[in-house]
Structure 1
Amino acid sequence: MTKTLLTLPGDGIGPEVIEQVNRVIDALKSRHGLELSVETALFGGACIDAAGEPIQASTIKRAKEVEAVLMGAVGGPKWAGVAREIRPEAGLLNLRKEMDVFANLRPALCFEALADASSLKKPFVEGLDIMFVRELCGGVYFGKPKGVDTLADGTKIGYDNAVYTTAEIERVAHVAFKLARKRGNKVASLEKSNVMDSGLLWREVVTEVHAKDYKDVVLEHVLADNAAMQLVRDPKQFDVLLTDNLFGDILSDLAAALTGSIGLLPSAALGADGMAGLYEPIHGSAPDIAGKGLANPIAAILSLEMALRYSLDASEIADKLFAAVKAALEKGARTKDLGGELSTTQMGDAIIAEL
């Protein structure tokens, strides 16, 4: 049965990078026998403009029916003044929650050809291959109560609640440990158990899951602030990094900078077996360069590679796509974020040529 990919181009550079993804899909179909049906829907600010909300109920329903969803990026200054509950980012959080994609896989991989492009010296990043497993549907982004209230004296108080249950921690911990067994067999669990009760529960539950089912995997507990320092001091000491929602958001972006450009890195958000996965480049909508043909499409193309691998049962084709990206970079293909001169479309051309 032909599988279906739902694309949500979004805002800013999102439509530009998704356009290159569609070109790659066409090449994979014609040259490598990929069987895939592709649909598209409005998302983010584009959906606010058209329908008054960042994502429509019909889109969420369809996202839960297909095998995989691939988005570009959402948001931008145009929608900064809309109510918080209908901002583009609210649509993204709602989509993640409704799809229940609780495990966010964010690789930080330094391609050999780009080791000199990192902000760190080459010996520290050459061969870097680490994976964040970030809990995506709980924590401070979703905890209740939250809000901004006006106090009796007229001043305001803003608050967010960092909440985790045992079950939420257990299920993402299982993902991290199982993934580690296929990689370097080592997990670093990051939290702030020294000052946060939710972090203390996180450490306790991860320890229990490890002791019960994964004693063969090396487990290390690292405070999140120390992990930030270690990522710029010696990033290759890590293999799989297990984090909550907030720390995973921050630290995976830090790790992305080590690879040469945030425009290189994809992500996958996975739920229970048999459920649709959500895939997206980790860069933002970059409104300052939108429409200029400057965006690096590699992160979006590698997000397709992850979708092929984890949701679309096409791992051999995923291998071919990854190899094509690697070969294009080895032959000097570079967009401006990597010090080159290629446009978004030209980088797509270079990768397609390698297919």
Structure 2
Amino acid sequence: MKKQVAVLPGDGIGQEVMNGALEVLKAVEDHYGHQFKVVQADIGGVAIDHHGTPLPKETLEACKQSDAVLLGAVGGPKWNDVPVEIRPEKGLLGIRKELGLFGNLRPIKTFEALVDASPLKQSVVQGVDFIIVRELTGGLYFGEPRERRGKNQEVAVDTLRYEKKEIEKVVRKAFELASKRRKKLTSVDKANVLESSRMWREVVDQIAPEYPDVEVEHLLVDVAAMKLIYQPNQFDVMVTENMFGDILSDEASMLTGSLGMLPSASLREDDFGLYEPVHGSAPDIAGKGQANPLGMVLSVAMMLRHSFGMKEEADMVEAAVEEILRTGARTADLAGNQIVPVSKTKEMIDLVVEQMKPNYAMSGILAAYL
């Protein structure tokens, strides 16, 4: 199978984790005989430096001509003083809008080997496995009007706006996912305060009869935030609007032990998707080889599964990650206070790739790193 992948490393540690992702993709290519054509392009701060805009036309065109997109990370203090309309994050918001990526999937799964890495009790985080479905193209981040009347003024305006059709698309995607999993959908809103949330809740209730086997519950966002910490096993699929999803998914990362472990997929109604780790550009460790590449690697697995229909290949990548964690491999963010050998970014990738090879031997490369 031949597929074209647009690769956008972005800023900070983006290039480091992307290099690892491409090695894993090459291992899949070699193992299964696929062909992946990689087209690299700029986004975010590096695009501002090279093109004067966080989302160049060339980048957008490369994405549109590809079957999927891999993205590293964007942003950093270097670009804090650029005008707000061309901040690196605008490239990320813009590409989602331009490519019609309306729904973001963030799997929250605790690996058995990492239950000690979470700041929460083992009894709380053990066996957690759910997906947050976040609406991506509407809400507060895109609402107009928005206004700040000068830096020294005391009034700022942001508008939270949703059209019913935007809500319907993402809610339907969440129902479809729930119907294939444990058949429970939790819709998160703030319907006791916001008109947009009241409409959100109405849409969920209108679509629910189409999925009679899916149990539906509504939670206010503050209640959902609490239950994520003390009762995360109750969730299967959670669907919510843009800003709530942004916040809750970062909160949920603590269940897994590190933001560096979380992949994500931004999807539209066909098979096309943009795949990226949830973590940021981490400029404080950029270039030091300390970044955890596993969120990026697991994003590759999501791309294989959701955009390319390569379930076996995706399973292999995920199994390789789980196995190297089981044997004790850790980047610094996963080590916590434990006294364990810490692996560099490249070493972790080498372990994953080696684990994917046939007749992998424990006495080989893994022993050398541990």
TM normalised by structure 1 equals: 0.97
For 1:1-355, list aligned pairs within 5 A: 2-150=2-150, 155-211=153-209, 213-274=210-271, 276-339=272-335, 340-355=341-356
The superposition leaves residues 128-179 of structure 1 with CA deviations (integer Å, 9 ceiling, x where unpaired) of: 101000000000000111121259xx73311111111110111101100000
Q: 1:44, 1:87 within 8 Å by CA — same for their partners in 2?
A: yes
Distance 2:257 2:153 in 1: 43
Distance 1:147 1:350 in 2: 50
- 1:215 is displaced (CA, Å) by 2.0
Query: Which stretches of structure 1, 4 residues or longer, exceed 4 Å deviation after superposition?
Result: none
Q: Secondary structure at the residue paired with 1:38?
A: strand
Task: Give the % identical residues.
Answer: 50
Q: Which amino acid in structure 2 is aligned with residue 351 of structure 1?
A: V
Gap runs ≥5 in structure 2: 336-340, 357-370
- 1:209 is displaced (CA, Å) by 0.9
Q: Which amino acid in structure 1 is aligned with residue 102 of structure 2?
A: F
Distance 1:147 1:122 in 2: 46
Gap runs ≥5 in structure 1: none
Q: Which amino acid in structure 1 is aligned with residue 353 of structure 2?
A: I
Q: Which amino acid in structure 2 is aligned with residue 208 of structure 1?
A: Q
Greater shift, 156-165 or 181-190, is seen at: 156-165
Q: 1:34, 1:317 within 8 Å by CA — same for their partners in 2?
A: no
Q: Secondary structure at the residue paired with 1:287?
A: coil
Distance 2:270 2:55 in 1: 25
Q: Secondary structure at the residue paired with 2:155?
A: strand
The superposition leaves residues 181-216 of structure 1 with CA deviations (integer Å, 9 ceiling, x where unpaired) of: 1111000000000001111110111111113x1122
Q: Secondary structure at the residue paired with 1:280?
A: strand
Q: Which amino acid in structure 2 is aligned with residue 297 of structure 1?
A: P
CA RMSD of aligned residues (A): 1.2
Q: Which amino acid in structure 2 is aligned with residue 197 of structure 1?
A: E
Q: 2:179, 2:211 within 8 Å by CA — same for their partners in 1?
A: no
- 1:31 is displaced (CA, Å) by 2.4
The superposition leaves residues 281-305 of structure 1 with CA deviations (integer Å, 9 ceiling, x where unpaired) of: 0000000110111100000010010
Distance 1:207 1:91 in 2: 34
